[in-house]
Each structure stands twice: as C-alpha cells, then as structure tokens.
Amino acid sequence: MKSLILEKEYIEGLSYLEKKKHLNKTRLLKQIYVHGPKSSVELAVNLNISLPTSLALINEMLGEGLLEKKGKGISVGGRKPDLHSLRAGSIYVLSIEIGRFETKMCILDNNHNNITGVQVFNLKITTNRAALKQLVVLTEDFIERSGVDPANLVGVGLSMPGLVDPKKGNNYSYLYEAGASSTLREELESQLKKPVFIQHDVKSSTMAECRRGIAKGKQNVLVVLLDWGIGLGAIVDGKICTGSTGFFGEIGHIPFVDNGDLCYCGKRGCLETVASGVAIARKAKEAIKSGKDSILNQLAASDLENIEPKQIIEAANRGDQFAIELLSEFGTHLGKGLSTLIQLFNPELIILGGIMAEAKQYLTIPTRQAINTYCMTELREQVAIAVSDIGPHSVIFGAAYTVFENVIDAQIQLMMVDKLS
C-alpha cells in the first residue's frame, strides 16, 4: 500500500505531472476525510475535476490500497453509485489531552477508529514546563505499547486549557517558560520527532462537534465545555472562531459576581467561580463540612476532600435534594451567562459538553429557565440547547481532527499547481 503522506524530499523529486496527480489525490482524500464516503460524481463536482479524472484517481487509489468501497449512494435515476472511503489504518495520529488534574491519550486512525482506547494518566498540567519531561516519557511509552508502527504515525495533537496560541505553538498559561529559546511545540517536536499541533481544549471540542457531533452541517453554533473550568467555542457562518491569537472564548474569566470568590486567574468574581466543576465541588465540600444534610455525607473524609462533579451528579440522580439544588444554582448562573452570548452571536444551537453536561436535565432545565428570564424573546426562541452526543472525550477526538487536517493541508501546500509553474 502506498502512503497517504509523502515526505517533502520525495515530493520535490516528482515531475510536474506527478505532483499534479498527487495533489488531486490529496484533495480527494481530504474531501472524503472531512465529509465521509463519496461517489465519483460527487468528488468530481466538489473538486472541480472531470468525471474521467475522478474515476481514474479512484481506481488508482483503490489499487494502491488507499481507498475502499463503502456501500452505495442515492440513485438519481440509474444504478446506485459506489461510495468510496479511506481504507482503515492507513495512517494514525496520537491525541493527547492534558488538564488540570489528569492526562488522557489515545491513537486514532484516519477513519476515526480508536485503536488504543482512551487511557488516563495521573499527570497534571503545570504553569511552567515541569510536567513536560514526564509527558514526553508517557507519550513515548504509550506509542511503543500501542503496537502502531511509528512510521505510520503522522502527527501528535495536544489539547489543553489556558491561553493557547496554536500558530506560535505556545500556551501562555501552562507549560510556559518566559524567555525560552524554543516554543512548546518546537520542544515537543524535537523530542517526539513528529509534527505537533497544539490547540485549546474547547477549540478541539468544537472541532469534534463540527465534524462528528450534532453541530455537523450547522452554521452558527456555540459549544460550551463544562469541565473543571468553563470555556466557549463558536462556529460562525460555518467556520470555527479562533480570534487574532487563538484566545477566543475565555468566557470563564468574564466578571460575573461583584466582590466574588478569587479565581485562579487572579481576578475575583469570574463566571468560573460559580459555574464550573471546581466551583460546584468547592461548594459541596464547604456545605457538607458545615453539616448540610446529604447522601454525600457518606463520603469518607479523604473522598470529600477530593470530591468530583460526577459524585454530585450521581447524588442528584439518586434524588438527593442538596445535590439537585447545587446543580440548579449552577444552571441558573450558566443560563445568565449564556443569555449574553445568545444576544451577541444569535446562534441556532448551543451544545453543552464536558463532565458537568452529564447532569443533563438537572442542568438544562434551570439553564433554559435563566435564558428565558435574561434573554430577549426573539433571540431565545430561535436557539436550541442540547447536550453533546459525543460523550466525555470530545476534546481528545477533536485534537485528532486537527492533526489529520493540518497534515493533509501541508501536503496540499507542497504541491500547489500554481507554485509549480
């Protein structure tokens, strides 16, 4: 089987016509990767090439083992056309999500098959690069144990919270060393010997929702990631917003409560101090210690000290009134914050994801009630609110999409016809 990704030196040795053919093949595989199995006619139209050229490319890529037939399309009067997809296991990416309390890793192939499963490691993100050495060791060991040929691993995606600039390859909140001679991306690439793509966790989640979630095909969507913190991703006119430096969506640190609790960002009263996993865990712990009646009292002292949102959600599902009240208060604050966003962005859909979204109706009902209270009628009536159907791993899956698409785009740039003449 030929490789989907060619080295720069190999491409430079190709003739003009060979480069042009490989360019069309690469554009074709991106079309299938992003949009799913396609017929020869659809590919000809979408790529603006002739049908004979489309058929020739498909047949050649079938022979090379790059494509495979994947069922039949919809007939428009004749036989149902063959659909073609990428052959599973052609290439792989390593996706990493490093957060405030743990790190997750998995390897996915070009058809989004999760080869290793998502594995969790006890590695916390650090403000400086103290965690970097252990991250590299874990990554190298993970690749070795996966059984995937490193030659077929085309890149690494790293998602994390903080002020992430994906273009420069730095995070200015975490894993940052002022005055360092190399960026975080450069440092990782030098040690892992693979292209590395760094992205904010919410942008990765938004990418996953856009490519495989309920935002697919939508034009104006807000994605709210409710994990230990709270972050915003946005799809506006079909495109994911990034901002000028990649810092778009830091809603967790907008002023929300006058003279409120101190946020880890250094300011007081941020939205994140009342609507985040950290906030609800802190409130639960404080209330239980002061004698609040709840089944959470059954937790051992060590468990209470390290209480997590999932335990509060479990208590609510068992009918615990205190846990339900905590989630309701959380939802009310969230809904008030979302009301401002609705009036700014006028979205058709808001997707709630992350660990807190697993509270479902205990969260969505008070959130909707707050939106009804604080948002203009004409805008609130046009927006749907839904819980992500991807599950708890949207961030790590989204990072994989980022790697695949960037690697494919880099191939395209190496072979652009207008640069060859």
- pLDDT value at 400 more than 80: yes
1, 110 contact by CB (below 8 A): no
Q: What are phi and psi of 260, to 5 degrees?
A: -80, -170
| Residue 144, helix vs strand vs coil | helix
Distance in angstroms (rounded) separating the CA atoms of residues 252 and 381: 25
362, 328 contact by CB (below 8 A): yes
Where does CATH 3.30.420.40 sit in the chain? 92-205+396-407, 214-389
Query: Out of 3.30.2420.10, 3.40.50.620, 3.40.50.300, 3.30.420.40, which CATH number does the structure's domain 92-205+396-407 have?
Result: 3.30.420.40
394, 208 contact by CB (below 8 A): yes
- Express each pLDDT in 194-236 by its tens digit: 999 999 999 999 999 999 899 999 999 999 999 888 999 999 9
Higher pLDDT, 243 or 92: 92
- pLDDT value at 420 more than 50: no
**Residue indicated by tokens 């060619």:** 6
- pLDDT band of 2, cuts 50, 70, 90: low
Q: How far apart are the first and last CA of the chain?
A: 30
Choose among 230, 237, 233: nearest CA to 256. 230
- The DSSP H or E segment spanning 47 is helix 40-47
Q: Give mean pLDDT, residues 315-321.
A: 94
Cα separation values, 30 from 89, 239, 401, 412, Å: 16, 17, 11, 10
What class, spelled out in words, does domain 8-87 have in CATH? mainly alpha
Where does CATH 1.10.10.10 sit in the chain? 8-87
- pLDDT band of 284, cuts 50, 70, 90: very high
Q: Sign of dihedral through CA atoms 277, 283, 286, 292?
A: negative
Fold that domain 214-389 belongs to in CATH: Nucleotidyltransferase; domain 5 (3.30.420)
The contacts of residue 193 (CB under 8 Å, 6+ apart) are: none
